[in-house]
A and B are shown apart, each in its own frame.
Chain A
């Protein structure tokens, strides 16, 4: 079992829909990251969380430390949101430079 599990693996939505991607982890963490990777390859860091909730534009990330679970929400989805979304954690007691990645969620938003 992977230390970081994401669901769903693939997600197709219509433009305007509310989207949720889930991430569960099995280790103690110092921080959880949500990353976005477009087909060209570059990765963008969306959020870094250690507690609570963060919002940036149409994106919202939440984390529940007790349940070891995080969600990434996209409101009013748009075709330009189509990308792979990756959850990654920094485990407690390890170097902050060592990220453990989930397998990613491929999101396709159709017009």
Chain B
């Protein structure tokens, strides 16, 4: 069982829908991440939160809106997505953002945009 829990596991939505992806960890980690992964490609970093503040935004379109309500939770709000946004969305956490602290990944949410 992974220590980073993502819900839902699968999501199908239309281009006009609004939905949210959720990520939770109870390891006391203070850094949390969102990645996007297309088939047969490595993950691409989207956002990093450090101590509940957004520290990295990799020029992600505004139709993706992250939120970190507290140190255990990370949300990704989705609105007006495009078919090319269909992908596996992975959440990860680490104790901090120093180089020697490995990231722990969730199982991902597989998102399909109709």
Chain A: residues with CB nearer than 8 A to chain B? 30-31, 33, 35, 40-45, 48, 50, 86, 88, 90, 95-99, 101-104
Contacts and interface: CB of A to CB of B under 8 A. Distances in A.
Contacts, number: 66
Contact of B106 (A42, A48, A96, A102): A42
A50 B100 contact: yes
A83 to B, nearest CB: 13
Nearest to B58: A98
B94 A97 contact: yes
Contacts of A44: 105
A33 B101 CA distance: 10
Nearest to B97: A97
B99 A43 contact: no
> In this complex, which of A30, A33, A45, A86 has the most chain B Cβ atoms within 10 angstroms of its Cβ?
A45
Given A30-B99, A96-B98, 4 more contacts: A43-B105, A45-B104, A98-B48, A104-B40
Interface string B35-73: 001001111010010100001100000000000000000
B100 A96 contact: yes
A97 B33 contact: yes
Nearest to A93: B99
A96 B99 contact: yes
Contact of A97 (B31, B105, B107): B31
A88 to B, nearest CB: 8
